[in-house]
Amino acid sequence: TRHGLEDGQFVTFSEVQGMTELNDCEPRKVKVIGPYTFSIGDTRGLSAYTRGGLFKQVKMPVVLNFKSFKSALEEPEYFYSDFSKFDRPAQLHVGFQALHAFAAANNGRMPRPGNDDDATEVIRLANQINDAWSQKTELDDKLLKQLAYQATGDLSPMVAVFGGLVAQEVLKACTGKFSPINNFMYFDALECLPVGFEPKEADLAPVGSRYDGQIAVFGREFQEKLSNYREFLVGSGAIGCEMLKNWAMMGIASGENGVIHVTDMDTIEKSNLNRQFLFRPADVGKLKSDTAAEAVAKMNPDIAGKIATHQDRVGLETEVVYNDEFYESIDGVTNALDNVVARKYMDQRCVFYRKPLLESGTLGTKGNTQVVIPHLTESYSASQDPAEKQIPICTLKNFPHAIEHTIQWARDLFEGLFTQPAESVNAY
């Protein structure tokens, strides 16, 4: 099998016959020769190798040194989240200092949304800071203007992303494991704004609602569209919970004509609780769609009664439920599925009915998203995913239809009864 190592990593050995000095040796640095072979340096002083042996990768401690905040401001290093915006971090580094200077000069008040006078002052402060900076950069007035316009903005999905990042950094600091972000990270998504978006200040002004942070970015007209949006969410597991939570915070379907349809035939299991955060121990055994809808309605009472829950599997057998009338009644579809077959089916339905589709998926720490606009973008089925190495849990639990499904079901049961409890005990 492939070793999966990279140059510079360290390994130790066990069960080696002949060259016994390697067993439980000090970690040795690896040089990768090929996908199945690697070198650990000069072994001429060791006994002759006979056969066998297992290697184990060892994580070596790394000492990290940090500058003071004052020094880091003057000589920043950047974490690039988008290499297509290579010039943005330096500009935003100056821009955020300008926002801080503006707030200091105005008793803590940030620039008003869409206010040209406040934006002009932020641009002036930014140029003043940039002129005095040893690493002077070229500033884009349009970028700084948008930064000032949106200084009081607050978008739930962005908050969720940065909340997750901060939580990870705290865990890194507490445990000493994994490498921290050792520089400034600036993230922008100005491409989310509509093309030619130039709202008036009155459209961005707060109205005294819980959505004022969002209105400050996209305007009242956009918020009204969201409140009357009709969306179909397929799946309410890990991704589905995050989607529903964000939609509740954004006020999607909170208006008179808004509705969220969510379907999931699965029930909540104890193993779901570590990542499907809308569920609690008392919910084990309940239907995911019903429980998730109740949870987000408590977060935002505006969408109470606006979520229609279903327990149907999407496919040919449920087209009497999700028929022409159903698709004509919705504005878009979001997939939160765990298998390729269902994803392709929903992709075909969305293309047929000309409904926009947000496709997403996770695998361990990796994730992907794809926006499908029929007859404008590539559809999900246009590209081929690699074959699934694992059988989706919902298939095993609810619709096992192949011999390998029954075998995997038995293996999972055996591991749950005899393997995982023992491993948990040994971990402590």
State the angle between helix axes of 116-131 and 88-105 in degrees (0 to 180), rounded to the nearest 10.
Answer: 110
Give the span between the Cα atoms of 247 and 214, in whole angstroms: 12
How crowded is residue 59: how many other Cβ atoms within 10 Å of its Cβ?
Answer: 10
- Candidates 337, 340, 335, 336; CA nearest to 389 is 340
Supply the DSSP string of 321-339, one letter for each residue: TS-HHHHHT-SEEEE--S-
174 is catalytic: no
Paired residues of 362 in beta bridges:
367
Secondary structure of residue 32 in the 3-state scheme: strand
Q: How far apart are the first and last CA of the chain?
A: 30
Of 174, 192, 350, 394, the active-site residue reads 394
- Candidates 351, 309, 311; CA nearest to 333 is 351
Quote the tokens at residue 295. Answer: 């949870």
Contact (Cβ atoms closer than 8 angstroms) between residue 262 and residue 240: yes
Residues annotated as catalytic are 394
